[in-house]
Amino acid sequence: MAAARGAGAALGVGLVRGINVGASTRVAKDDLAAAFADAGFSDVVTLLQSGNAVFGMTGAPTVEQAATVEAGIERRSGVSARVVLVGEEQFREVVAANPLISVADDDARLLVTFLDHDLPADLELPADADLAPEVLRAGERALYQWCPLGISKSVVPAAFWRAVGPVATGRNQRTLARIVAELDRRR
């Protein structure tokens, strides 16, 4: 059973970029949870091994809290990683707004990249013809990507991702469903 949340309490989601993808980026779940607690978040639950956390919070998550989580991860594990913090409502909106749900037939190949910033106004998405059969769409603080040949075979140019900005991290639809289930469990 989920712990009751007090008045003014809300839930948030933390997405850590690039951890636990090799020996040099290993961050233990306890260290990850402690880094979020250091930033003032409560009842931290980590999910899977790809840097996902659901936590209690008051108010909206801040840039300062993200920096505190990043510093805590580095202090505890020696791993430097960027963090995107998202309030529950915004997280659910981004997941629900995915325009590629109807074309995807494998949740492991449907990716949502969360941003801690708005997309640059002058950013142009690569042309559909240049990416086919892959598909890329922009949303509110998110990019949606269908990779029918597999995420590791994506043809989206690295220069595009550099132009997006450094604080962005992707999760496949299967992982997003697990995070939404944890949010639902905590209601």
Beta bridge partners of 139: 142
Q: Which residues contact 151 (CB under 8 A, 6 or more apart)?
A: 108, 109, 111, 170, 172
Q: How does the average pLDDT of the chain come out, rounded?
A: 93
Domains contained in the chain, number: 2
Mark whether 53 and 38 lie in a shared domain: yes
The band of 3, judged by pLDDT with boundaries at 50, 70 and 90, is: very low
Mark whether 62 and 102 lie in a shared domain: no
Q: Which residues contact 40 (CB under 8 A, 6 or more apart)?
A: 57, 65, 68
Identify the CATH number of the domain in which residue 36 sits.
3.30.70.1280
Q: What is the pLDDT of residues 85-105, one digit of tens each?
A: 999 999 999 999 999 999 999
pLDDT of 187 = 84
Q: How far is CA 166 from the centre of its chain?
A: 13
Helices (H), 14-135: 29-38, 63-77, 88-96, 128-131
Of 35, 66, 91, the one marking the end of a domain is 91
Q: Which residues contact 158 (CB under 8 A, 6 or more apart)?
A: none
Mark whether 99 and 87 lie in a shared domain: no
